[in-house]
Amino acid sequence: MTKSTLVLLIMLLSLFNHSIAKAQSWQATSHYFQSELSELGVVGGSAMFIADGKVTDSLYFGLADKEKGYTINERTLFHWASITKTFTGIAIMQLRDRKKLKLSDPIIQYLPEIAKLHNPYDNTADITIEHLLTHSAGLRMSSFPFKTQSWQPHEPTEFSQLVAMMPYSEIKFNPGSQYSYSNLGINFLGEIIKRITGDSIESYIDKNIFKPLEMHHAYFNATPYHLREYRSNNYAFENGEFIAGGPEFNTGVTSANGGINASIIDMAKYVLFLIGDQSNPTYERILKRASLLEMWQPKLNTGVNKSRHIGLTFFIRQHFNQTYIGHTGSQKNFYSSMFINPEAKTGHLFVYNTSKLIPDATGRAKATTMPIYKEMQMKLFELMKK
């Protein structure tokens, strides 16, 4: 055996062992996710690992609907909540690249109604589109903080309702000076998109992101009739039992911040777009790679942890000396996570359909699944390392 042949065999054996180790790590991670959540009573969920330009591993467990006995599979339709914000951010960047707007544009140029906001800093005209993209405009978190009864709408259904609340809403800090997560600000972006293009945010994203990526099982709000059998219900733990929240709910005028429903397979198409592939011209037509990379540049620190930042709607996290880009979601008893490692060209998705809240020592509601959620992220980040 020649020396070069021996070196080649050693390299092949190393690659084989690495592949075996990755497979075993995924099996351990997915088993942890399913077993720990199931023990807490989570009705069902799914997880997916993306590498080498494809879905390499997936997990489906539990039920999409307990009453109907529908099991979760690759076609199950979940609600992805705030991960929607990244789609809205991409929509804004598309319009920027087409010279329909500038990130430095004052939003009052498009939404003159915001002059009604109470602003002790007297600089509302200086709030820009970039401030909304980076959650640094000084706006409150909730689009509708006044809901007190379960029979009231899930979210406001018309932009005019947000306008009516503006005199009762304030700018909490000098715009651009700090980060403070704001659903309201992202919904302002949705209205700007509508006023520039004539399309609602739902229609715009469908035309300019869903369709080019062939995300045929992705949509906003009411489930199309031909897909209803795949729609996951959602469950909340109340009075010692899990109560179904109903599969359909209307995100109304807040669709820009958290309205997307989709199968995990369709969301994987979006993750592959984010990871990128120079041989796929569709990706560049949706949004230039340079513009995506611009969205992933850290703009502001998001808290005490100096390894976490906000870019343009995307969060940037540092773990294991690697950079991870993505977003999380939680709404209407659905919890989800989506992150990529651009350098390693890997990504993950996971989602589940149950919320189990219990009061902590201070009486505040605490999600009992959150420690598992965070641990699952860390296990997947480790698998995603280059």
Q: What is the pLDDT, as a whole number, of residue 263?
A: 98
Given a cut of 50, whether residue 40 has pLDDT beyond it is yes
Q: What is the pLDDT, as a whole number, of residue 7?
A: 47
Q: Per the domain annotation, does 15 fall within a domain?
A: no
314-330 burial: b if 16+ Cβ within 10 Å, else e: bbbbebeebbbbbbbbb
Given a cut of 90, whether residue 122 has pLDDT beyond it is yes
Task: Give the number of domains in the chain.
Answer: 1
Q: Per the domain annotation, does 325 fall within a domain?
A: yes
**Per-residue pLDDT tens over the stretch 367-378:** 899 999 999 999
268-273: average pLDDT: 98
CATH code, domain with 340: 3.40.710.10
Return the percentage of the chain with pLDDT > 90, whole number: 82
* Mean pLDDT, the chain, integer: 92
Q: Per the domain annotation, does 282 fall within a domain?
A: yes
159-184: average pLDDT: 95
Residue 56 φ/ψ, nearest 5 degrees: -100, -25
Q: Per the domain annotation, does 2 fall within a domain?
A: no
Q: Work out the pLDDT band at 1, boundaries 50, 70, 90.
A: low
87 vs 188: CA distance, rounded Å = 14
Q: Per the domain annotation, does 179 fall within a domain?
A: yes
Q: What is the pLDDT, as a whole number, of residue 126?
A: 97
Domain that residue 255 falls in = 26-383
* Higher pLDDT among residues 306 and 34, named by residue: 34
Return the percentage of the chain with pLDDT > 70, whole number: 94
- The token pair at 26 is 């995924």
Q: Work out the pLDDT band at 15, boundaries 50, 70, 90.
A: very low
Are residues 316 and 323 in contact, defined by beta-carbon separation less than 8 angstroms?
yes
Residue 277 φ/ψ, nearest 5 degrees: -160, 110
**Per-residue pLDDT tens over the stretch 346-373:** 999 999 999 988 877 787 888 899 999 9
Q: Work out the pLDDT band at 239, boundaries 50, 70, 90.
A: confident
Cβ-in-10-Å burial (0-12, 13-18, 19+) of 196 comes to middle
- The token pair at 266 is 């369709």
Strands 235-238 and 354-355, sheet pairing: parallel
Q: CA–CA distance from 237 to each of 106, 180, 242, 357 (Å)? A: 44, 29, 4, 7
Q: What is the pLDDT, as a whole number, of residue 16?
A: 45
**Per-residue pLDDT tens over the stretch 212-223:** 999 999 999 999
Residue 14 φ/ψ, nearest 5 degrees: -65, -45
Q: Which of 107-116, 245-254, 327-336 is predicted with the least confidence, judged by mean pLDDT?
A: 245-254
Q: Per the domain annotation, does 3 fall within a domain?
A: no
143 vs 133: CA distance, rounded Å = 16
Q: What is the pLDDT, as a whole number, of residue 153?
A: 75
Task: Quote the crossing angle between the two packed helices 183-197 and 84-97, to the nearest 10°.
Answer: 40
Q: Per the domain annotation, does 365 fall within a domain?
A: yes
Q: Per the domain annotation, does 20 fall within a domain?
A: no
